[in-house]
Amino acid sequence: MRSRHSRTPDGTAPRAERLPDPPARLWRSAEPGRSYDVVIVGAGGHGLATAYYLAAEHGIRDVAVLERGWLAGGNMARNTTIIRSNYLLDESAALYGHALDLWERWPAELDYDFLLSQRGVLNLVHTEQEVRDARRRAFANGLNGIDAEFVGPDEVAALCPILDVSPDRRYPVLGATWQARAGIAKHDHVAWALATRASELGVDLIEQCEVTGFVTDGERVTGVRTSRGDIAAGRVGLAAAGRTSELTDILGWRIPLQSHPLQALVSELLEPVHPCVVMSNHVHVYCSQAHKGELVLGAGIDSYNGYGQRGSVQVIERQLAAALELFPIFARAHVIRTWAGVVDVTPDASPIIGPTPFEGLYVNCGWGTGGFKATPAAGRVFAHTVATGSPHPLAEPYGWERFRTGALIDEHGAAAVAH
């Protein structure tokens, strides 16, 4: 297989794909109203997608999205933009598979080119046990209608020629799963697309408005307290990612979430050399090349709880060492920028979506390190849940009660890699 980024016949490198023009003012910046049918807390990808679907599919347009900082400045702005659906378990395959279907429809539906690039994802394996697990996952994917296959080292080399697949490496590449429909999308532009369409449909997007508590009537949530005054709401949907337990704690509701720093970094701009996305659980790094040319690298979470939006240096050291193990060609690339987000991790590494013990309050959280890829489905099923008061069928297994019934969706280790 030829690399998509190989040189043109006259020997020049092809131009990187052109970025969409930076937006002028795309959405209305709203002042907080006194009351709304629905208030969504958090203008990340999930909050914005939820508002969009509430308006577009449920005809609920009296909606506000409240954001403590700036629009989509949380994990939505900090993630490494990887989209895939090759999860092992049926519940996950259904949800992330739906998301990938929607990703493919979104550029036309939202009429916005956010550079969805289905360049394929390789999940490398380096041990015999990993080979078995990867094969199992590829077969399970096949049964769930997800395009994924197991490929050997030669095919890996053909898909990503800059990878070192020689057998004498410390962690030799024994194969990989390959999902061709997987890839990346320009995350900021996705947020701007959603904000634009939601705003056009009448949704109020309110920045610099932190939710600090709730207005309650017995066990019913009837509004939110914010840094800009109380706002009444028929229903409240939490899409606050890493800060969710700060809100649920106020209600005295302890929810199984732990917030951790998760970091990423980019190199300087390089010519297109890296044709797909490569992840390795074993040496724990993942890497793709952004449209503009930076290498984008991520690894695992820091072990401790943290809200500081910065992680530890040793994680970066290990991830760079792992990257060089796989891609010796990167030895002279410079790290330009590192940053971190705050991700909310659940005990079974699957999200929590659904009604809460409080009438009128719904929660979408616990996406941990992997919620960007789910954005369209998360928004769609959460909008359904908020609009109808009962979970969307795809979200049904994801209620918080599963930690009491034992019906966990244990994707820890079952999924290909953290993200």
Ligand X SMILES: Cc1cc2nc3c(=O)[nH]c(=O)nc-3n(C[C@H](O)[C@H](O)[C@H](O)COP(=O)(O)OP(=O)(O)OC[C@H]3O[C@@H](n4cnc5c(N)ncnc54)[C@H](O)[C@@H]3O)c2cc1C
Residues lying near ligand X in the complex (CB under 6 A) are found at 41-47, 66-69, 72-76, 78-82, 210-211, 239-241, 243, 247, 262-264, 298, 341, 343, 367, 369-373, 419
403 binding partner (options ligand X, other proteins, none; Cβ < 5 to 8 Å by kind): other proteins
Residue 245 within binding range of other proteins, rule CB under 8 A: yes
- Within 324-383, the residues that bind other proteins by CB under 8 A are 344, 347
Residue 302 CB, shortest distance to other proteins, in Å, is 9
Residue 297 CB, shortest distance to ligand X, in Å, is 10
Residue 111 within binding range of other proteins, rule CB under 8 A: no
Contact 122, 278 (CB under 8 A): yes
Distance CA 410, CA 402 (A): 11
Nearest-Å Rg of the Cα atoms of the chain is 21
Helices (H), 201-343: 244-250, 313-326
Distance CA 161, CA 159 (A): 6
Residue 70 within binding range of other proteins, rule CB under 8 A: no
Residue 305 within binding range of other proteins, rule CB under 8 A: yes
Residue of 194, 190, 117 whose CA lies nearest to 372:
190
Residue 208 within binding range of other proteins, rule CB under 8 A: no
**Residue placing its CB nearer to ligand X in the complex, 165 or 345:** 345
Give the per-residue contact string, 248-287, with other proteins (x = CB under 8 A; - = no).
Answer: -x----xxxxxx----------------------------
Helices (H), 221-347: 244-250, 313-326
Only one of the segments 7-15, 52-60, 177-185, 300-308 lies at the binding site for other proteins (rule: CB under 8 A); that segment is 300-308
Nearest 5°: CA angle at 327, between 325 and 333?
110
**Residue placing its CB nearer to other proteins in the complex, 102 or 409:** 409
Residue of 292, 401, 350, 385 whose CA lies nearest to 38:
385
Residue 13 CB, shortest distance to other proteins, in Å, is 38
**Phi, psi angle pair for 344, to nearest 5°:** -100, 115
Q: Which long-range contacts (CB under 8 A, 24 or more apart) does 102-108 make?
A: 102/376, 102/377, 102/380, 103/185, 103/373, 103/376, 104/181, 106/190, 106/193, 106/376
**Residue placing its CB nearer to ligand X in the complex, 67 or 165:** 67
**Chain positions contacting other proteins, by CB under 8 A:** 243, 245-246, 249, 254-259, 303-308, 312-314, 344, 347, 403-406
